[in-house]
């Protein structure tokens, strides 16, 4: 029998800050009770939980160069996320990780990097956007961030998005519904894609990074394909029923993939039609 590594063992972390992003979404900032904060790469996730309740996979939404704490942005959707929501400053949670395949940001070097987020899908993209916007050696030639949500009040990380726009990042926002005071687009985030990438379709120039509900990601892949972006130049991050986070239990299987081990990031070419398959 193989002994579990340290990354497989629950580690106590203390909640040092919490920010309610919306009525049902919160960002928790946590630090190890003992030891150093582990390094991670954008799109990697941890199993975060409450002793006696359970644990859930949540992507790290803080920047990789933030050495003070890790941020986890989650929506209330069950017993574990309810318990995490109810944690208060000073409370202890458990963390296993980080795990998983991160975004391949080297593909963005010298290209037009396009990030497409639906709802809470902006969270796994945030660290990657920060890295590419910060003058990294793999900086893109152009950086576009397209963000969709149900209503204006459902947009996450408002001050951070405003800061990105102030730093020259092309930022476009859309909502499904809004009143006349909303100054941005009304409709699907996929409606924003073609105008942003159309001028570059004469060459393979786009590196796309996508996160959101499966239907939104499938529609984004289709739209990017119509704009002649190659499937291997489109990456998505998957969310499935991850329980062990190391490929042992099989709960997160999607076709030939075990999402916790082989993902959560995959290219559209690797996925094929797998996003059309329901999770059991």
For residue 30, give the CATH number of its domain: 2.40.30.10
Instruction: Look up the domain containing 226 and give its range.
Output: 105-276
pLDDT recorded at residue 1: 39
Task: Tell me whether strands 206-211 and 234-237 are parallel, antiparallel or unpaired.
Answer: parallel
pLDDT recorded at residue 260: 65
pLDDT band at residue 4 using 50, 70 and 90 as cut-offs:
very low
Among 33-37, 115-119, 252-256, name the one with the lowest average pLDDT: 252-256
**In 3D, which of 195, 198, 192, 186 has the Cα closest to residue 210?**
192
CA separation for the pair 275, 255 (Å, rounded): 10
Give 223-279 pLDDT, tens digit per residue: 999 888 988 999 998 876 666 767 667 666 666 666 667 668 888 888 777 666 555
pLDDT recorded at residue 219: 92
pLDDT recorded at residue 204: 55
CATH number of the domain that 206 lies in?
A: 3.40.50.80
State whether 149 and 82 are in the same domain. no
Residue 204 lies in a domain: yes
Point out the domain boundary residue: 67, 99, 131: 99
Q: Note whether 100 and 265 are within 8 A (CB).
A: yes
State whether 252 and 178 are in the same domain. yes
pLDDT recorded at residue 2: 41
Strand partners, 112: 142, 206
Higher per-residue confidence, 201 vs 98:
98
């Amino acid at each position: 029998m193989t002994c579990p590594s340290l990354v497989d063992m629950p580690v106590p972390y203390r909640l040092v800050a919490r920010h309610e992003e919306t009525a049902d979404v919160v960002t928790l900032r946590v630090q190890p009770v003992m030891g150093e904060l582990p390094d991670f790469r954008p799109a990697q996730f941890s199993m975060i939980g409450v002793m006696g309740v359970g644990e859930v996979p949540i992507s790290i939404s803080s920047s990789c160069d933030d050495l003070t704490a890790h941020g986890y942005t989650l929506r209330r959707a069950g017993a574990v996320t309810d318990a995490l929501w109810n944690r208060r400053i000073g409370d202890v949670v458990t963390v296993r990780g980080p795990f998983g395949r991160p975004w391949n940001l080297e593909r963005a070097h010298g290209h037009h990097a396009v990030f497409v987020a639906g709802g809470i899908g902006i969270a796994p993209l945030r660290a990657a956007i920060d890295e590419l916007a910060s003058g990294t050696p793999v900086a893109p030639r152009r950086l576009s961030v397209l963000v969709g949500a149900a209503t204006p009040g459902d947009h996450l990380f408002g001050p951070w998005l405003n800061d990105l726009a102030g730093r020259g990042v092309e930022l476009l926002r859309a909502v499904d519904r809004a009143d006349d005071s909303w100054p941005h687009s009304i409709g699907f985030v996929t409606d924003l894609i073609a105008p942003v990438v159309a001028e570059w379709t004469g060459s393979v120039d786009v590196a796309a990074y996508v996160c959101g509900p499966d239907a939104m990601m499938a529609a984004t892949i289709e739209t990017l394909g119509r704009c002649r972006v190659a499937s291997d130049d489109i990456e998505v991050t998957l969310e499935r029923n991850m329980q062990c986070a190391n490929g042992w239990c099989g709960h997160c299987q999607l076709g030939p993939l075990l999402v916790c081990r082989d993902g959560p990031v995959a290219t559209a070419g690797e996925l094929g039609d797998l996003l059309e398959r329901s999770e059991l």
